[in-house]
Structure 1
Amino acid sequence: MEQPGGALVASERYGSAESWKYWAKDGAMERRRDGEQRQSAGSSVLRVFRAFCSSLSGTLATQASLRGVGVGNQEATVAAATLTWLLRDGTGMLGRIVFAWRKGRKLDSEAKKWRLFADGLNDVAMLMEIVAPHFPAFFTLILCSAGVFKSVVGVAGGATRAALTVHQARRDNMADVSAKDGSQETLVNLAGLLLSLLLVPLVTDDPPLTLGLFFLFTLLHLFANYKAVRSVVMETFNEARLSIVLQRYLRDGRVPGPAEANGREPLLPDFRTPVPIRLGVKLQDVVHRYPDQLDLALKGNNKPFLVGIRNGCVSVCLGPEASVGDEIRAACQALWLGGRLEAPTSRHENQNGHWETVHQSHQLMDDVFTGFLKDAEAAGWDVKRTLLDWDEWRVEWKTKSS
């Protein structure tokens, strides 16, 4: 297809919104935004303006409420209290937005890890609130930091609870499971409230006892949560579980069952720096600037995905017709490539050397993937869906013949 700007070699779309096209001319490739956009800019502005007005109304209501309950006798006192309230709530809102933006997709694929993270961060926030009165000069800073942590806990805790509820709803009874989970939590909180009525008089005006009991209960809480999260056995592949299963299969030809792989899945922070793997990226994250890069990506590959290595990162483009099996295969190739790149001899390869490694991964998957997927299903894994961290870019590319 020839156009004044060159030949169309690929097009891509992010979800149902923006669309882009790649044009080749004079040995170079250019990415341009498509003219068609699905979202109305006017409706977006109206939605933002409506939320903005609602936020301002809430601010005025907060100030009126403080004045109504008699906070201070002067206007300055009410204004100062209002600003302090807004500062605490505002930092919490900012933390919630940034965390959801940066880690939102991970909450599905790594629900167990982020569930444990939320529990630990909540304990840290409570500790900060306990010690804040002892540092008057930094009281506002500590309180706002604790508010940010609690807002992150709210996002991570609520999202991972929903993900785990979906896992537990084996008879498609998510509402029933969610309701019973809420009732169970309410019962536990009620018991805690009754115990608190007996405990609070004992710790009043005794900071050492307060901190001692807090650390004791925190350790018990974290241990119980770790054991609870570790007991969850999920039959769908995420990146960690797929890596465990694939490595064992390539090593000795055996696919570990869900219970074994879940028992080895890391739940605590890993301070290593593994090779980043990005799934469902833009075409330019796999091939860059030159059409012959697309030819290299297609060499030995007739699947609806493209795999490439750029700047030490393994990236995968996904075609719109790709099946779940294709997604699993592409992720397996990316994980294998990531393992190869971690080897010291691979870190200094040029881009052409990386393409040779990519072609080896295609050949490896041609040889082993069918047997791997069959054995995985026989071992009890659900291969009809995944929890792999795919972004929403979908790409259609043109071969030389087309």
Structure 2
Amino acid sequence: MERGSDAILATERYGSQERWSYRLKDGRMEREREGEERRGTAASLMSVFKSVFLPQGYPESVSEDYIQYQFWDTVQAFSSSLSGTLATQASLRGVGVGDREATVAAATITWILRDGTGMLGRILFAWVKGSKLDCDAKKWRLFADVLNDFAMFIEIVAPAFPACFTLIICIAGVFKSLVGVAGGATRAALTVHQARRDNMADVSAKDGSQETLVNMAGLLVSLLLIPVVTDNSVLTFALFFLFTSLHLFANYWAVRSVIMETLNQARLSILTHQYLLDGRVLTPALANHREPVFPEFSSSVPVRLGVRLGEVVDSPEELQLALKNNDNRYLIGVKQGAVCVCLGRGVSVQEEVRSVFQVQCLRAVLSSHCPLGGAVGALRESWTQADARDLWGLVSESHKRIDRIFPAFFTGLKEAGWQTDRTLLDWDEWRADWGKKTD
């Protein structure tokens, strides 16, 4: 290569954001940024902003739904910050700030009682619902934000009831403690989903930076807001409901924007029903858009996963019935109107998915209002023609039919982009061993 030529010797890039080239100029190798002549001050500031508030390697290092979720999360955090300011002002007024007759001891006792009841609530909620938060992160994320708004509303109205102020504040403290557990746990679950390069710590840290920036903006607005709303209850309530409405709206769209590729019970149910209808396996985007984000308080046929063996079979005869036509490491039984699954030790992820797929088919058969054709329609027809009380016969027949349709369904899951090496199904920890079926 001749001296003084402008030939490119090598190129490099920093993620997908920056590209550099090494050129030979006057016998020396010089490094230049591609497009540097078009790079202005605004672009430089944007680059600094991204490096401070976005994970390293963005957008390749995070999930595709990251930026949409973070946008709505920012909106909800800002509105929640303003609502929290109004609630804090009401709480301080309730404990006697500005009242000459109020004592420091009384205010301190109120605050201690509020924090103490909140701590107990946090422990109890984590004990009762801790294992459910991973499985339905979207629902519990939205639940936490709705409960947080309700707790702040209680704090705002508490000063109007001075005789019950301490009790009301303690109730609000319990609600906020539940919010802390559910919100923090589900945020961690969503962070695991967003981190695509084992960079959960970086994603979590940058999320914290974003939230801190939003809270700083909320504090500045609050400084202007407090003098306006002080001693004006009507304006306080009007602004609170405005900010709360914005908060709930943003939270709803935040959880709706999340597209998780891991199977939980709700998403697998949606996939199963669609597959039984027309043989299609929905993509993660389509299934997530159909996933309910509000708690469902009723179910025509309840499902219980990972139960004790005694909740599936009551006798050696029932054990043999449960093993009929069943070569899997799980047992299914219909007890007291619920479909129960007992797992054997060493069960694979594929068998876990298969068992819930089979459970959804059984639920469709047992639910007369669910008009499904294909294998489930044939299973329902054969069961109706036989003794409708023979639930073990239904389970046995379902094993044979699932043997024929599940392999294609599981292959379709992989092709559609679903994770099939792990699940978020709501399994309890019971595992059992049973003898081999006798012919």
Deviations 1:341-390 (A, max 9, x none): 332799x9999621122123212210110000001110111111111011
Q: Alpha-carbon deviation of 1:103?
A: 1.7
Counterpart selection for 1:368 from 380, 398, 405 = 405
Whether the 8 Å CA contact 2:145–2:251 is kept in 1: the answer is yes
What's the secondary structure of 1:108's corresponding residue? coil
Instruction: Give 1:301's aligned amino acid.
Output: N
Q: Alpha-carbon deviation of 1:133?
A: 0.5
What's the secondary structure of 1:308's corresponding residue? strand
Instruction: Give 2:427's aligned amino acid.
Output: W
Residue 263 of structure 2 is matched in structure 1 by 237
Does 2:274 align with 1:274? no
Instruction: Give 1:308's aligned amino acid.
Output: G
Instruction: Give 2:328's aligned amino acid.
Output: K
Does 2:339 align with 1:314? yes
What's the secondary structure of 1:381's corresponding residue? coil
What's the secondary structure of 2:186's corresponding residue? helix
Does 2:202 align with 1:176? yes
Does 2:292 align with 1:255? no
What's the secondary structure of 2:252's corresponding residue? helix
Measure the CA separation in 1 of the matches of 2:307 and 2:405.
25
Q: Alpha-carbon deviation of 1:401?
A: 4.7
Measure the CA separation in 1 of the matches of 2:313 and 2:369.
24
Whether the 8 Å CA contact 2:324–2:437 is kept in 1: the answer is no
Deviations 1:197-247 (A, max 9, x none): 001100000001000000000000111111111011001110110011110
Deviations 1:23-58 (A, max 9, x none): xxxxxxxxxxxxxxxxxxxxxxxxxxxxxxxxxxxx
Matches within 5 A, 1:389-400: 389-399=426-436
Residue 112 of structure 1 is matched in structure 2 by 138
Residue 380 of structure 1 is matched in structure 2 by 417
Instruction: Give 1:362's aligned amino acid.
Output: H
Provide structure 2 residue ranges, at least 5 long, that are not aligned to the other structure.
1-102, 371-379
What's the secondary structure of 1:329's corresponding residue? helix
Measure the CA separation in 2 of the matches of 1:378 and 1:360.
28
Query: How much identity, in percent, do the aligned residues show?
Result: 64
Q: Alpha-carbon deviation of 1:79?
A: 7.8
Counterpart selection for 2:323 from 288, 298, 302 = 298
Counterpart selection for 1:286 from 282, 301, 312 = 312
Rate the CA distance shift 1:400–1:358 in 2: closer, same or farther, 3 A.
Answer: closer
Provide structure 1 residue ranges, at least 5 long, that are not aligned to the other structure.
1-76
Whether the 8 Å CA contact 1:312–1:341 is kept in 2: the answer is no
Q: Alpha-carbon deviation of 1:98?
A: 2.5
What's the secondary structure of 2:247's corresponding residue? helix
Counterpart selection for 1:200 from 193, 217, 226 = 226
Matches within 5 A, 1:28-47: none
Q: Alpha-carbon deviation of 1:85?
A: 4.2
Rate the CA distance shift 1:295–1:234 in 2: closer, same or farther, 3 A.
Answer: same
TM (norm. structure 1) is 0.76
Instruction: Give 1:107's aligned amino acid.
Output: L
Instruction: Give 2:366's aligned amino acid.
Output: L
Does 2:362 align with 1:337? yes
Matches within 5 A, 1:120-199: 120-199=146-225
What's the secondary structure of 2:216's corresponding residue? helix
Measure the CA separation in 1 of the matches of 2:283 and 2:173.
41
Rate the CA distance shift 1:188–1:280 in 2: closer, same or farther, 3 A.
Answer: same
Instruction: Return the index of the structure with the highest Cα Rg.
Output: 2
What's the secondary structure of 1:315's corresponding residue? strand
Measure the CA separation in 2 of the matches of 1:396 and 1:271.
33
Deviates more, 1:96-105 or 1:226-235: 96-105
Rate the CA distance shift 1:188–1:359 in 2: closer, same or farther, 3 A.
Answer: same
Measure the CA separation in 1 of the matches of 2:348 and 2:142.
32
Deviations 1:148-180 (A, max 9, x none): 110110110000000000000011100000000
Report the RMSD for the aligned CA atoms in angstroms. Answer: 2.4
Measure the CA separation in 2 of the matches of 1:339 and 1:137.
54
Deviates more, 1:351-360 or 1:224-233: 351-360
Residue 28 of structure 2 is matched in structure 1 by none
Measure the CA separation in 1 of the matches of 2:243 and 2:413.
41
Residue 353 of structure 1 is matched in structure 2 by 390
Q: Greater RCO between the two (CA within 8 Å, min separation 6)? A: 1
Instruction: Give 2:335's aligned amino acid.
Output: R
Q: Alpha-carbon deviation of 1:141?
A: 1.8
